[in-house]
């Protein structure tokens, strides 16, 4: 059934995707498994985009479907024991030059239902805005998202800007697209997350919870 959900999302069949999600929830499927299917679908659509086989409208539609699926999952995940007390403050955004928000939205959703206070700066965020937000909120973790390879330099610039601003206590995680350990080393970030579950794991390591 989860594969059916992947196929529905990548096939841009919005009604089918929502129907399948509803059936999965009613059938007792773990919300995390459903999120995993969303992640798989996002990876497929992202690859199509990079190869010129999908375009902005498809990304927007996929993002809208994901938002609706997230809204369906929230009550279920809340019921599994959402943390009432906020564990810590996190800032996240898609770096300058990149407008992809599907993966970022999944990470934001996962962090929030795990009890973190998340400030989502949106997409195409310049380094200075990350610095400003970190100073304003007192966040101790910053997440930089980027789907395309052109995001690597802005990620590096943002890491440098945060350090130049004296925010040495802020931990920085990066993720999205083909981000790996080599890219983490290039950008100077503290860690990279393969997926939303890893983002939560890192946040817990750094903040607690």
Phi and psi for 121 in degrees, rounded to 5?
Answer: -85, -5
Q: pLDDT digit string (tens) for 82-119?
A: 444 578 999 999 999 998 887 788 788 778 877 899 99
Give the model's pLDDT for residue 59.
76
- The per-residue pLDDT for 1 is 59
Angle at 40 between CA 38 and CA 46, to 5 degrees: 100
- Residues of the chain within CATH 1.10.1240.10 domain(s) are 2-79
CATH of domain 2-79: 1.10.1240.10
Closest CA to 162 of 186, 187, 134: 134
Measured distance CA(76)–CA(21) in Å, rounded: 12
User: Is 89-207 in CATH node 3.40.50.280?
Assistant: yes
Count other C-beta atoms under 10 Å from residue 51's C-beta.
Answer: 8
Predicted confidence at residue 81, as pLDDT, reads 45
**What pLDDT is stored for residue 21 in this prediction?**
95
Token duo for residue 20: 């399948």
Instruction: Judge whether 144 and 189 are in contact, CB under 8 Å.
Output: yes
52-16-193 Cα angle (round to 5): 55
What is the pLDDT, as a whole number, of residue 111?
Answer: 86
Start and end residues for every CATH 3.40.50.280 domain found in the chain: 89-207
Is residue 182 packed enough to be buried (19+ CB in 10 Å), middle (13-18) or exposed (0-12)?
Answer: exposed
Q: Which residues of the chain have pLDDT under 50?
A: 81-84
Tell me the whole-structure pTM to 2 decimals.
Answer: 0.69
Cα diameter, the chain:
51
């Amino acid at each position: 059934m989860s594969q059916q959900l992947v196929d529905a999302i990548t096939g841009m069949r919005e009604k089918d995707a929502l129907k399948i999600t509803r059936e999965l929830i009613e059938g007792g499927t773990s919300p995390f498994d459903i999120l995993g299917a969303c992640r798989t679908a996002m990876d497929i659509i992202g690859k199509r985009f990079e190869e010129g086989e999908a375009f902005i409208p498809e990304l927007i539609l996929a993002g809208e479907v994901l938002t609706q699926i997230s809204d369906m999952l929230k009550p279920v995940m809340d019921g599994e024991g959402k943390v009432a007390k906020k564990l810590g403050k996190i800032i996240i955004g898609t770096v300058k030059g990149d407008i992809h928000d599907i993966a970022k939205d999944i990470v934001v959703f996962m962090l929030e239902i795990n009890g973190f206070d998340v400030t989502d700066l949106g997409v195409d965020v310049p380094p200075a805005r990350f610095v400003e937000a970190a100073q304003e909120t007192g966040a101790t973790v910053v997440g930089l998202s980027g789907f395309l390879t052109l995001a690597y330099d802005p990620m590096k610039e943002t890491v440098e800007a945060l350090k130049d601003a004296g925010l040495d206590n802020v931990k920085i995680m990066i993720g999205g697209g083909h981000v790996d350990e080599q890219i983490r080393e290039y950008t100077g970030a503290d860690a990279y997350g393969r997926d939303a579950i890893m983002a939560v794991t890192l946040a817990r390591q750094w903040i607690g919870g």
